[in-house]
Amino acid sequence: MSERFPIAVLVSGTGTNLQALLDTVHGDEVEIVAVASSVVGVSALARAEQHGVPVGVFERAAYADRAERDEALANWLTERGARLVVLAGYMELLGAPFLDRFPGAVINVHPSLLPAFPGMHAVEQALAYGVKVFGVTVHFVDAGVDSGVVILQGAVELADAREPEEVLAALRPLEHTLLPRAVALFAAGALAVDPENPRRIAIRAGDARTAGE
Ligand code: GRF
């Protein structure tokens, strides 16, 4: 097969989405060449180390400001050769200068059907609103909060849900399927902006193995 597509993953916590990437696409169509955390000692770092993936910690407090942190982070990811940056539970905002270093190549997984419930505590927001259908969005990252172009979405009906833990448990398998699928599609060059609607991503036919629902 052709060379593996080099990606980096940014984390801040448990890292179950990182684990899904390690268990599926890593070593196959992509290689995770770097895992960077905004928080020291989180279990996501241990997951990466168990797979021999180089890790780095970029705590906000260790830098004069966010811009300096972003630059150090972007420099490290570039040195490692990353061509796609995946935010998998990364709890920090990234500024435009960082995004400019990886144009059109930063993606995020968010636990709601965007544009509903962007930002923090998406599941709590959805429960408070009283929705009956919950979901997951994998999207490109732009300078706004969860406002970038949608790549993949999945939904689950939970008409009687009351507790965030119950919803998160139902969403996790969706996240762990959709994020690796989106990464594989990106690596295959199968994602293209629809010329008639730049908000819409077209998935190239012929990539059914990863694109099929
Ligand atoms: C996920 O729910 C993801 O949607 C959100 O942060 C959570 C990360 O979980 N962005 P994990 O660290 O991958 O387990």
Question: Could you read off the pLDDT of 57-74 as tens digits, one per residue?
Answer: 999 999 999 999 999 999
Q: Is the pTM of this model over 0.85?
A: yes
> Is residue 210's pLDDT more than 80?
no
Q: Give percent above pLDDT 70 in the chain.
A: 95
* Ligand 1 proximal residues by C-beta, below 6 Å: 13-17, 44, 88-89, 109-111, 175
Q: What backbone phi and psi angles, to 5 degrees, belong to 69?
A: -60, -45
Per-residue pLDDT at 2: 59
Per-residue pLDDT at 206: 66
Q: How confident is the model at residue 205 (pLDDT cuts 50, 70, 90)?
A: confident
Q: How many residues are there in the chain? A: 213
Residue 38 CA neighbour count, 13 Å, CB half: 17
> Is residue 185's pLDDT more than 70?
yes
Instruction: Name the residue among 134, 147, 117 with its Cα closest to residue 173.
Output: 134
Q: Which atom of ligand 1 is nearest the CA belonging to 15?
A: 12
CA 20 / ligand 1 centre spacing (Å): 11
Q: Confirm if 26 and 5 have CB atoms less than 8 A apart.
A: no
Active-site residue 51, yes or no? no
Region 94-120: what's the mean pLDDT? Answer: 98
Cα 66 from Cα 12, distance rounded (Å): 16
Each as own residue / partner, the long-range contacts of residues 16-19 (CB below 8 Å, 24 or more positions apart, any chain) are: 16/89, 16/172, 16/175, 16/176, 17/88, 17/89, 17/109, 17/175, 17/176, 17/179, 18/44, 18/47, 18/48, 18/88, 18/89, 19/47, 19/176
> Is residue 208's pLDDT more than 50?
no
Question: Could you read off the pLDDT of 147-176 as tens digits, one per residue?
Answer: 999 999 999 999 999 999 999 999 999 999
| Helical segments of 32-135, H only | 43-50, 66-79, 96-101, 122-129
Question: Per the residue annotation, which of 26, 110, 139, 176 is the catalytic one?
Answer: 110
CA 1 / ligand 1 centre spacing (Å): 31
- Output 67 or 208, whichever has higher pLDDT: 67
